[in-house]
Amino acid sequence: MRKGLMRPGHVQIRVLDAEAALKHYRDLVGLIETDRDEQGRIYLKAWTEVDKFSLVLNPSDEPGMDFMGFKVVDEATLVQLEQDLLAWGCPVEHIPAGELRGCGRRIRFVAPSGHTFELYAEKEYTGKWGVTEVNPEAWPMDLKGMRAVRFDHCLMYGDELAATYDLFVNVLGFYLAEQVLDENGDRIAQFLSISTKAHDVAFIMHPEKGKFHHASFFLETWEDVLRAADLISMTDTSIDIGPTRHGLTHGKTIYFFDPSGNRNEVFCGGDYNYPDHKPVTWAAADLGKAIFYHDRQLNERFLTVLT
Ligand SMILES: [Fe+2]
């Protein structure tokens, strides 16, 4: 939490059919609908999250990610980070409080990779869903589908990884948890964290800016990942790959698509980091094993299907 960023707070995803998307994220992934707004956007959260929403579905003509937001500890941090972004040469846009219902003002900027990010300090505290604050039970009994625990991270595809690294590490306070280096020693993948998690956001080198690879939700156990795979088949949901394990981060994972073609991941496990850990490095020559630890080869769809 160096420089005051706490966690990934939300992601707004464009969807072609709002009701089909809601059915996917609510009934299959297991998120909880918390609000809607006059733009037709639908707000959802995972049950352990204490703020009002972490996923916003935005009805649109094409799929993809509008923006990913990080929550900072307080307003003073937001003010400081805006100055730091400007000093680095990154213009910012001010989004007023309430533009997303229940969210305070947001500072929006575009990373050199072409992706839009936001920082905010305030969001309506709703507490964990379905459990009490005093003597809480282990989990709510009426969770649906995969029973996602939390929104965890996003993976972006884009160019200018070095400048994006500089911005995220030196301005925003992320650290490099894991990387893939090509034969020249150039970084072609960077997994960045602001917590003890294996990653909070990741970037993979791609010639086109601003592409979205996946939004990921955390599950508790490998059994939950296998159960997610069953649910994907039961609902005839488009599957990408898995269940399998990543080399990078060592998470146990499955990938699938929402009805608009946006990729989702649910996963469990994965490595952890403390400030004295050194970054883990994978060689690009071993990228197959780095991405899919068991098959040790990439599937073309994983590399090329982006929104
Ligand atoms: Fe992921």
CATH code for the domain in which residue 195 is found:
3.10.180.10
Check 10, 24, 153, 213 and give the catalytic one: 153
Sign of CA dihedral 151, 249, 66, 79: positive
Pair 159, 279 in one domain: yes
Looking at the structure, tell me whether residues 99 and 170 fall in a common domain: no
Distance from residue 203's CA to the centre of ligand 1 (Å): 10
Known catalytic membership, residue 214: yes
**Global pTM value:** 0.96
Sign of the Cα torsion 298, 303, 305, 307 reads positive
Q: Indicate whether 134 belongs to any domain.
A: no
Domain of residue 74 covers 5-120
Ligand 1 center–CA 40 separation, angstroms: 28
Whether residues 32 and 172 fall in one domain? no
213 is catalytic: no
Structure tokens at 217: 């939700």
Between the CA of 216 and the centroid of ligand 1 the distance, in Å, is 5
CB 219 within 8 A of CB 246: no
How many A from CA of 191 to the centre of ligand 1? 10
Co-location of 100 and 219 in the same domain: no
Assess whether 220 and 180 both reside in one domain: yes
How many domains in the chain? Answer: 2
Q: What is the pLDDT along the chain (307 residues), one digit of tens a residue?
A: 578 999 999 999 999 999 999 999 999 999 999 999 999 999 999 999 999 999 999 999 999 999 999 999 999 999 999 999 999 999 999 999 999 999 999 999 999 999 999 999 999 999 999 999 999 999 999 999 999 999 999 999 999 999 999 999 999 999 999 999 999 999 999 999 999 999 999 999 999 999 999 999 999 999 999 999 999 999 999 999 989 999 999 999 999 999 999 999 999 999 999 989 999 999 999 888 988 999 898 888 888 889 9
Both 178 and 80 in one domain: the answer is no
